[in-house]
Each structure stands twice: as structure tokens, then as C-alpha cells.
Structure 1
Amino acid sequence: MGQSVSHSSLPPATSSSRQCPVDHQALDKSSPAQCPVDHEALKAAQKPAQCPVDHGAINSLNQMPSLTQSRAPDQTMDLPLERTTSSIPRDGSAKWEYPSPQQFYNALVRKGWETPEEHVETMVEIHNFLNEEAWEEVLKWEKRQPGGSESDIHLTRFKGRPGELSPKARFWMLAGWLLPSRFNTEPPFDRHDWIVRRPKTGEEVRYVIDYYSAPPLPDGSPVFSLDVRPALDSFGSLKERIAVATEDVWANLRENQNKN
């Protein structure tokens, strides 16, 4: 299960709006919308595009990234300190929070990324938006489970794995190398592993999420594609992956027959 999402459809970023677990936001309205990350500069520096927040650095007391709210050295403008609450359940009573723009900027500085401060809020908005969309894809998978309910499951922990290609990503890279006119040759710009817990059974399921850049819209708005699926850690996950793939094949065949 995967989908393409456009930044042009993003809602205004507020502390109460539904958004995702890491933030990206604020461009000049007079210029066409575009991705604030300079991918060419990243390639030149031989640094793969990736989420700057270290998802493995979790504070054990509150299960949230340990990121400072203090201004970075040489920072020239104030950045918001407010953290947005996501729609993603952390347990039965709490939801995950996204880093504030200041925390996100500090993560960029720590990784040595040169990012214009005025673009940080936009970057936070995009990152949060993508993670919200990823959670929606997880829910689609979970609803396929017998008695599955989106109100039951929660994201118990997660980890960013930038630069680590999943087996599926490697397969599509090979396909792009063999048939570049048909398949994308760009690797995913980020990867997350999310551990979802099903409280009714106590079972934990690992989901793999590959984040891809897609061709921009005619107005220049960036588009992203998410490939979200349960990892092949169990026979049940393998069965679900095969079932969904089969359903997609039949759906495409029926669509082609209707066109003819």
C-alpha cells in the first residue's frame, strides 16, 4: 500500500491541527511552492537526503526526541517553540508530539546541514504531514485484520534508518537500473521503521516506510510518494502482503478491461 501526497494539500500548521511526528513549513506566497530541501546541494555534498531528527534518541521518561529548545549558535531569527500534537496514539491515553521548529532546526545544525532559517517551519510542516499520511496507510493495513480497529492500535516506538535501503527499495532500484524508462532510478530519501502494538493481543508489528520524491505538480508544488507495508517478520505479514499485491493486480486488470 502506498500513495502519492502533494505538499499543496497541506493544512495550515497550528498547534491544534492534525499533523505528523516531525515538522517542515513557511514559503513566500509570491513564488511557486517548492521543496525547501536543496537536493542538488545534498548530492554535491554526498549526503543523502534524510530526516534530520534522530528517532533513535528517545527520552525514556516521556518517549519523545531529546532535542533542545535553545537557540543555535549564530541563529539570526526566533523560531517557534510550540510542539504540535499528532493524531498518532502513543498509548491508550496519549499521542505523539512533533518537535518544534526550533528543535528541528537544532537537529539540522547538529547534522551539519545548512538550511535557511526562514524555511524551517515549512520543512517541519512537510515532515509532519508525511508522517500523518504514513499513519493513515498503517491504519489501512490494520483494518484488514480480523476485528481490526484503528482506535485500538498505537505506535509504541519508531526509528529512522536513513541510508539503509529496504529489500523492496533495492528491488525497485534494480528495476530502475534495468529499465530506466519505466521505473524510477531515485532511491528513497528516507526510511522509518515503526513498531505498532495491538493491545487486544499484545502483538507488535513492524512497519517499513520508504519515502520517495515524486515529479512536482505543474505549479511546482512538491509531491511525495510513501511505500508503507508490514515488514516480512512473520507468516501473517507475508500473507497480508501477498493478498494486497494480488488484489492490486486484479484491480489493474479490471480497470484495463473497462477501458477497452
Structure 2
Amino acid sequence: MSDSKCPVDHSSFANLKRGNPASPPAASACPVDHAALSPPPAPAPSECPVDHSSDGVNPLNMMPKLGQDRAPGQVLDLSTQRTVSTIPRADAADESHVADKNWMYPSPQQFYNALKRKGWETPEHEIEGMVDIHNFLNEGCWQEILEWEKEFHCDCNDIKLSRFQGRPQELTPKARFFTWFGVEKPFDRHDWTIDRCGTEVRYIIDYYSAPDVAPGVPAFNVDVRPALDSPGAAFDRSRRAAREVWDRCFGGFGGQGTH
């Protein structure tokens, strides 16, 4: 995380806990699949400003090839310093250096350039806060993935992120199901593929907006779960759902407490 204080009230981080998607999510390398952001106080773009499927992305690591030069007409100086995430890279060439073994977030200047390239006019003074939110959400999503892995695959202690992809226009079956009950559609979707000790596993992340926890303090809800690409993933999700129902009914006496 960057040195500047995250603009998100961290007391609302509980909203990131596996989404509770049944209620309108109350509450987007970098591993950067830059999640659509809702920056305070201006409205956020509806999806990640970086097009990770374009020719401007390194296909090996899905990192946007964004310049650090000032954008035409830019008035304020934006930092060109990139922040190292806590998320390990599966393709790290030199694991002796944190900056090489972990994914890196884009600098505020790179983030602004991505917004400009997509035609989104965003006040320059809000970019630093948007980057903080972006990084905060990605870190939270990674912790959610680690929770899944710890619960069902604790035999592997070397989880890494292989690649990621933004798919904001593709609604997941789960998200579509909840829209039938009046839940607002997620504003973004990411697919993160992890390396589980040599086995690739895809996770799906739906990002939801939520009412501000305070004036100018946005809240978000993320629903993180393994993609149903294998019987094992389906079994993990079934066990998680059953355990959460048990915990709600019997206060967590079935073993693990609620997350």
C-alpha cells in the first residue's frame, strides 16, 4: 500500500468479506486488473480504466504498458512511483527482490494516462485517492483468495497469482441470478488465475458499489469465489455454503467460525 492513507474507511473492510451477495452488496499488474473504481467524491468509471485485453498489455503478465509521461493538458504533477503489492507473481524471475517477486501497482501518473486514453475525464487531484482505493481493493481480494485456499487447500503454502483479466461486460451466472431479486449488477468483474503449487485455479471476483459509510467515504462489496471449472471447485463452494448456513443457524459450533 502507498504511504498515503487509504481513503476507504477500513472499518468498512468487513464489507469485503466474501460478499454476502444475497443482499444488495452493501456494503476494481498490478495484480492490477484495475477494478472499476468509485472515487470520492466524483463518480467513478464503470470499469477498469486499463484495457487488459488490448495490444498495450504484456500477454505474459497482463501488465499494462503505460507511460509515465504527463498527459497533454495535464496541470498537476502526479507521482510516477509505483507501489509493490503483497501479491506474489507466479512468473517471478528473481525472488530475492520484493519488487521482482510481487506484482506492482501502477503509479498515479500511469493510472491517469489510462483514464485519459479511454476518454474518461477525471479531476487530477482525485487520482491519488483513486489509486489508493484500487490498491486497497486488490489487496482485499487477494486476502479473500488466501482464505479460500487456507480453508480447503492448506497443504499448499505457496499461492501465487499467475494472471488476471477484467471482464466488466460479462455478467457471471451468480450475479445474474441475484439481479432477479433486485440486487444491482456488479460494476466490474475480474478473473484471477492463481498457481496452487503447480496447479492453475481460476477465481471470479464481482465488485459491487455500496452506500457511502460516511459523506465522501465510499464502500464496496466484493464476492470472491473459485470458478466452477472443476468438480473440486464446485465441492469447495458447496462446503463453504453449507458451513456458512451452519454457522448462521448454530453460531459456528460446527468447527470454524464465520469469516
- TM class by shorter chain equals 0.7 to 0.9
1:203 matched residue in structure 2: 199
**Distance apart, 1:251 and its partner CA:** 1.1
SS of the aligned residue for 1:119 comes to helix
Distance in structure 2 (CA, Å) of the matches to 1:121 and 1:61 = 28
Q: Give the match for residue 45 of structure 1.
A: none
Q: Unaligned 5+ residue runs, structure 2? A: 1-5, 12-29, 96-100, 253-259
Query: Which deviations, in whole Å up to 9, do the C-alpha atoms of 1:57-91 show, x marking residues without a partner?
Result: 53257763211111111111110000000000003
Counterpart for residue 229 of structure 1: 225
Which of 150, 155, 158 aligns to 1:143? It is 150
The AA in structure 2 aligned to 1:53 is V
Matched, 1:247 2:253: no
Amino acid at match of 1:52: P
**Counterpart of 1:16?**
none
TM-score after normalising by structure 1 = 0.76
1:171 aligns with 2:177: yes
Q: Which amino acid aligns with 1:9?
A: H
Aligned to 1:64: 63
After superposition, where does 1:20-99 map in structure 2 within 5 Å? 21=32, 35-38=40-43, 49-56=46-53, 57-60=56-59, 64-91=63-90, 93=95, 94-99=101-106
Mapped to 2, the partners of 1:168 and 1:53 lie a distance apart of 25
1:105 corresponds to 2:112: yes
Shift of 1:219: 4.5
Residue aligned with 1:192, SS: strand
Asked whether the 8 Å contact 1:142–1:148 carries over to 2, the reply is no
Runs (5+) with no aligned partner, structure 1: 11-18, 25-33, 43-48, 177-183
For the residue of structure 1 that corresponds to 2:9, the secondary structure is helix
Distance 1:160 1:207 in 2: 12
Normalising by structure 2, what TM-score?
0.76
> Contact between 2:52 and 2:165, CA under 8 Å: does it hold in 1?
yes
Matched-pair contact (CA < 8 Å) for 2:49–2:115: yes
Q: Do structure 1's residue 123 and structure 2's residue 123 form an aligned pair?
A: no
Structure 1 pair 172/63, CA: closer, same or farther in 2 (3 Å)? closer
Aligned partners of 2:246 and 2:7: how far apart in 1?
27
Contact residue 22 and residue 128 of structure 1 kept, 8 A = no
Deviates more, 1:160-169 or 1:95-104: 160-169
How many Å apart are 1:153 and its aligned residue? 1.0
Partner of 2:25: none
Q: Distance in 2 between matches of 1:195 and 1:143?
A: 16
* Cα distance between partner residues in 1 of 2:129 and 2:153: 39
Cα deviations across residues 108-164 of structure 1 (Å, max 9, x unaligned)? 001111100000010000001000000000001111234434x40100000011121
Instruction: Give yes or no for contact 2:88–2:161 (8 Å, CA) kept in 1.
Output: yes
Decide whether the 8 Å contact of 1:22 with 1:99 is kept in 2: no
Determine the structure 2 residue equivalent to 1:156: 162
Write the letter of the residue equivalent to 1:173: T
RMSD: 2.7
| CA distance in structure 1 between the partners assigned to 2:223 and 2:10 by the alignment | 19
The percentage of aligned residue pairs carrying the same residue is 53
Give the secondary structure class of the aligned counterpart of 1:105: helix
Question: Which amino acid is the alignment partner of residue 168 of structure 1?
Answer: K
Which residue in 2 is equivalent to 1:213?
209
The alpha-carbon deviation at position 217 of structure 1 amounts to 1.3
Please state if 1:134 is matched with 2:141: yes
User: Hey, what's the Cα distance between the residues in 1 that align with 2:115 and 2:240?
Assistant: 37
The change in CA–CA distance for 1:194 and 1:23 in structure 2 (over 3 A counts) is: closer
What does residue 15 of structure 1 align with?
none
The alignment of Structure 1 onto Structure 2 pairs a total of residues equal to: 217
